[in-house]
């Protein structure tokens, strides 16, 4: 039996990820493709609750510590994610390790240090980067009150996503699947259409083994 496809949606805050993830889930379900939506951070686990408190500024944590918690939150769900894929179900993640690196490195932590804890997590077959300028994203009702939701930081985060795109496209760091950048400043139907174009070829399932992030 073919396994499900592993698809990740990434982007800045207010880039429309959650809206597009919900639209894609409906579209896949409409096409009779079984799909599970997984959001990172998953704020429901004990680790996720620590992350949630940090993001809402109810707790303070050292930058390294919160980085490792975000990664641990992916690791605690990794086995379940793989099982879901093997059961033939497509997994759609709203954020993944790329957010982990981009947001922490934008605070000044070394890029390579940020990448290390996520090494050998299941690698997505496709990462969709919803690209939008921070000032455009801000026009969408403005950023919220959570940590990181500031224009200056989002600008740095965007640069880091672009660096990852380049490395992944050039395959500098081992097999991590395909990366596609979509113009997220378009209206949401147009964005959804662009997403569907890259997702539809994966809806027949995947035959390849599940690869690992940043590992040959
Ligand atoms: N974020 C998310 C990180 O800093 N590291 C991570 O590993 C992940 C998955 O959390 N501003 C940041 C990005 C967001 C914030 O995510 C909360 P969301 O999707 O806005 O709930
Ligand atoms: Mg957010």
The residue whose CB lies within 8 Å of the most ligand 1 atoms, and thus the one to mutate among 103, 144, 164, is 103
Q: What angle do CA 18, 20, 24 make, to 5 degrees?
A: 120
Residue ID of nearest Cα to ligand 1 atom 17: 41
Which atom of ligand 1 is the closest one to the Cα of 104? 4
Residue 211 maps to a domain: no
Looking at the domain assignment, is residue 198 inside a domain? yes
DSSP track, 68-83: HHHHHHHHHHHHHHHH
* pTM score, whole prediction: 0.96
In this structure, of 60-64, 111-115, 141-145, 162-166, the range with the lowest mean pLDDT score is 141-145
- Cα(13) to centroid of ligand 2, in Å? 5
Give domain status of residue 138, yes or no.
yes
Residue 87 CA to ligand 2 centre (angstroms) = 30
Whether 216 maps to a domain, the answer reads: no
Quick check: is 1 in a domain?
Answer: no
Ligand 1: residues whose CB is within 6 Å?
13, 40-41, 55, 70, 95, 99-100, 103, 148
Residue 156 has pLDDT above 90, yes or no: yes
Domain count along the chain:
1
CA of 1 to the centre of ligand 1 (A): 34
Which residues pair with residue 128 across a beta bridge? 9, 180
Please tell me the distance between residue 117's alpha carbon and the centre of ligand 1 in angstroms: 16
**Within a domain: residue 214?**
no
- Mean pLDDT, the chain, whole residue set: 94
> Exposed, middle or buried: residue 184 (CB in 10 Å: 0-12, 13-18, 19+)?
buried
Question: 85 lies in a domain?
Answer: yes
Of all residues in the chain, what percent carry a pLDDT higher than 70? 96
Supply the CATH number for residue 176's domain.
Answer: 3.40.50.300
**pLDDT of amino acid 202:** 94
> What pLDDT sits at residue 215?
81
The whole domain housing 45 covers 6-202
Does residue 213 lie in a domain region?
A: no
Question: Is pLDDT at 53 greater than 90 in this prediction?
Answer: yes
**104-133: average pLDDT:** 97
CA dist 214 and 203 (Å) reads 25
Among candidate residues 94, 88, 93, the one with its CA nearest the CA of residue 33: 88
């Amino acid at each position: 039996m073919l396994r499900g496809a592993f698809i990740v949606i990434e982007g800045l805050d207010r880039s429309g990820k959650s809206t597009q993830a919900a639209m894609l889930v409906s579209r896949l379900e409409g096409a009779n493709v079984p799909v599970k939506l997984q959001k990172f951070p998953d704020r429901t686990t004990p680790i996720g609750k620590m992350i949630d408190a940090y993001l809402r500024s109810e707790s303070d944590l050292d930058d390294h510590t919160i980085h490792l918690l975000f990664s641990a939150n992916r690791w605690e769900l990794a086995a379940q994610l793989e099982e879901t894929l093997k059961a033939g179900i497509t997994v759609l993640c709203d954020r993944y390790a790329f957010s982990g690196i981009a947001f922490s490195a934008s605070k000044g932590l070394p890029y390579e240090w940020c990448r290390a804890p996520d090494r050998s997590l299941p690698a997505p077959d496709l990462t969709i980067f919803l690209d939008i300028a921070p000032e455009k994203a801000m026009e969408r009702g403005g950023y919220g009150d959570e940590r990181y939701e500031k224009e200056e930081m989002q600008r740095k985060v965007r640069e880091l996503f672009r660096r990852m795109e380049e490395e992944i496209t050039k395959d500098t760091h081992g097999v991590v699947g395909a990366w596609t950048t979509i113009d997220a400043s378009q209206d949401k139907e147009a964005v959804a259409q662009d997403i569907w174009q890259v997702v539809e070829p994966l809806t027949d399932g995947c035959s390849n083994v599940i690869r690992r992030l940043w590992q040959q």
